[in-house]
A and B are shown apart, each in its own frame.
Chain A
Amino acid sequence: MAERRLRLLVAKPGLDGHDRGAKIVARSFRDAGFEVIYTGLRQTPEQIVSAAIQEDVDAVTLSILSGAHNTLFPRVIELLRQQGAGDIPVFGGGIIPEDDIPGLKAAGVKEIFTPGTSTEDINSWVKANIHPRA
C-alpha cells in the first residue's frame, strides 16, 4: 500500500530559549496527520540542514523569535542549495516585522507567518502548498 506521508522538519534556530511556539506548530502538524521531525532548541543552520537531508523531509519550518530571521532564513536556504537539497522548501514564522517579509520571500522563503496566524490557517496553507516530493 503505497502512500506518501508528508514529513516536515520543525526547527528552532537562534539563541532565544523558549520553544512554545514551535511546539504548538509541531503538535498541530501532527494533528493534521503529518510526520514532524522536531529537533529542539538552539539549532544551528548547519544542524538543521543536515537533519533535513537525513530525514528526507518535504519542507523545513523555522520558528524564529530572536530577531535574527534576516540572516537565519537565507543561511538555511543557502546551505540546502550547497548540499544539493535546494528543492526542499523553507517556510516559517515568529516575531518578524511586515517590512522584512518581502526581502525574505525574495531570498527564497516560501511563506512567513506572523504571530497572529492560527494553526488552522498554517495547516491549510501547508496542505495547499507543500506536497510530498515525488
Chain B
Amino acid sequence: MTLAERIVRGELRAAARLMRDIDDGMPSAVAELKALYPRTGRAFIIGITGPPGAGKSTLTDKVIAAYRAAGKTVAVVAIDPTSPFTGGAILGDRIRMSRHATDPGVFIRSLATRGHLGGLSRSTADVVNVFDAMGWEVIIIETVGVGQDEIDIVRTAHTSLVVMVPGLGDDIQAIKAGILEIGDVFVVNKADRPDADRAVRDLEMMVEMKHPGAGEWWPPVLRTVAQKGDGVAELVGKIEEHRAYLHTSGRLQQFEQNKSALRFEELLRDQLFARVREKIEHGGDLAVTIRAIANREQDPYNAVEALLARHLSE
C-alpha cells in the first residue's frame, strides 16, 4: 500500500513519514502528494506569527484547547529556526503544548526552516496539505517568529494572527511596516505587563492609517494573557468572524486562486531551473559560459538568452 493510501485510512505513522519525506526532499513524496491533492481544500488554516518569545506557542496551546472544546480536530505545524552554522536545530514549540500530546484529536509536527526565509520551511505548504487530506479540521501554523517579512504565512493561512507584546518600544516601528499587510487579527499578548495599553493604541492607529475600505475586513486588536488564557475566547471569536467574512465576501475564492497561482509558479520555476541547469552542467556548457562572462568575452544577458534558445527549443 502506498503512503497516501495509508494516510487516507488515517494511519498517523504514514502521515508522519510522508512529512519527513517532504521535508527531506525525497522524490517519492511527489507521487504521494499528487494522490492526496484532490482531498485537500477542506481544512481551516490559521497562521500565528510575531517576534521570538511573544507567546505564540503558549497562545497556540490555548487556541488548540478552545477548538477541541468545540469538538474540532486540530493539527499544528510549528516552525523553528535552523542554525546557519551547523544545520542543526532545537525545535521547542511542543513544550508549551505538551498537555495535548496524547489527545488523538491533536497532531503536532515541528519543522526546522533549513535555510528557507520568509517564516516557514519550504515543506510547510505540503505538510499542511497532508493534514488537510487526512481530514484535520483546523490547522494552526506557528511561524519561526522573526516578525518581519513573514509573507509566506499570508498565502498559506486563511486567517493570520500577528502576536505582539508590550514594551517593544522603537523596535515596533521596524516590525510594523512588515506586519501590517499580514495581520487579519492583531494580538497584544502579555497584557499583564505594563504598557499594554500603549501597544494596543499603537496597533490600532496603524490599522486606522491603513483604513480598510467599506465592506473590507477591519483587523481587530485584542489583548491576551496567554499563560492564563485571558482573552482567548474573544480571540477565537474573532478568528471565526474572519473565517465567516472570507466565506461571505467571496475572499475565500480569491485566496485559493492566489495560493494556487503562486504555488504553480513556484513549482514551474523550480523545475524549469533544475532541468535547464542539469542540461548545461552535463554538457559542460555552464563552466565554459561562466568563464567567458568572467573574462568579459561574453555578457551575461546574451549568455542566458543563448542557453535558453538552445535548451528550451525542444
Name A residues whose Cβ lies closer than 8 Å to a Cβ of B.
Answer: 1-5, 7, 26-27, 29-40, 43-44, 46-47, 50-51, 53-56, 84-85, 132
Contacts and interface: CB of A to CB of B under 8 A. Distances in A.
B78 to A, nearest CB: 10
Nearest to B111: A35
Nearest to B91: A37
Interface stretch (B44-52, B65-73, B94-102): B94-102
Chain B interface main SS type: mixed
Interface of B: 12-13, 16-17, 19-20, 23-27, 82-83, 86-92, 94-95, 98, 101-102, 107-110, 112, 114
A40 B90 CA distance: 12
A52 to B, nearest CB: 9
Given A2-B25, A51-B101, A53-B12, A7 B92 contact: no
Contact of A29 (B12, B17, B19, B88): B88
A2 B27 contact: yes
Contacts of A3: 24-25
A36 B16 contact: no
Contacts, number: 89
Contacts of B89: 30, 35-36
Contact of B110 (A34, A47, A55): A55
A43 B94 CA distance: 11
Given A1-B25, A2-B27, A50 B90 contact: no
Contacts of B23: 5
A56 B108 CA distance: 11
B101 A38 contact: no
A26 B87 contact: no
A129 B309 CA distance: 50
Contacts of A34: 88
